[in-house]
């Protein structure tokens, strides 16, 4: 176990010691996105696949509470990740 007395506080601008390299995308995010799209495609608006992903999103938006939460999540994501042109 590390000796806590020898630990130094975080220094701003210190050399990065671990984790992913800067700019490397998270693989799990892509997998989750693909799984979500596949599930929405299968469900559609009626649970039988009618309308595909668009049909699923329309059915979610009909429920005001869930529709607002989804819209806020998308807007928050877009604000943090502006499209590259």
Does a structural domain hold residue 19? no
Please check the confidence at residue 1 and state whether its pLDDT lies above 60. Answer: no
Query: Quick one: average pLDDT of 39-58?
Result: 92
Does a structural domain hold residue 14? no
Both tokens of residue 73? 């999540």
Does a structural domain hold residue 15? no
Structural domain that includes position 51: 27-85
Does a structural domain hold residue 4? no
How many angstroms from the chain centroid is the CA of residue 9? 32
Global confidence as pTM: 0.57
CA dist 75 and 41 (Å) reads 22
CA pseudo-torsion sign 69, 70, 71, 75: positive
Total domains, the chain: 1
Does a structural domain hold residue 17? no
Does a structural domain hold residue 40? yes
Both tokens of residue 15? 């050399």
pLDDT of 24 reads 81
pLDDT of 2 reads 58
Does a structural domain hold residue 6? no
């Amino acid at each position: 176990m590390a000796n806590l007395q020898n630990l130094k506080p975080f220094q701003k601008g210190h050399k990065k010691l671990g984790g992913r390299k800067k700019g490397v995308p998270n693989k799990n995010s892509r997998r989750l996105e693909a799984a979500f799209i596949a599930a929405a495609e299968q469900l559609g608006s009626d649970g039988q696949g009618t309308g595909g992903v668009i049909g699923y999103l329309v059915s979610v938006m009909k429920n005001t509470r869930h529709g607002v939460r989804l819209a806020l999540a998308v807007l928050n994501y877009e604000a943090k990740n502006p499209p590259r042109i």
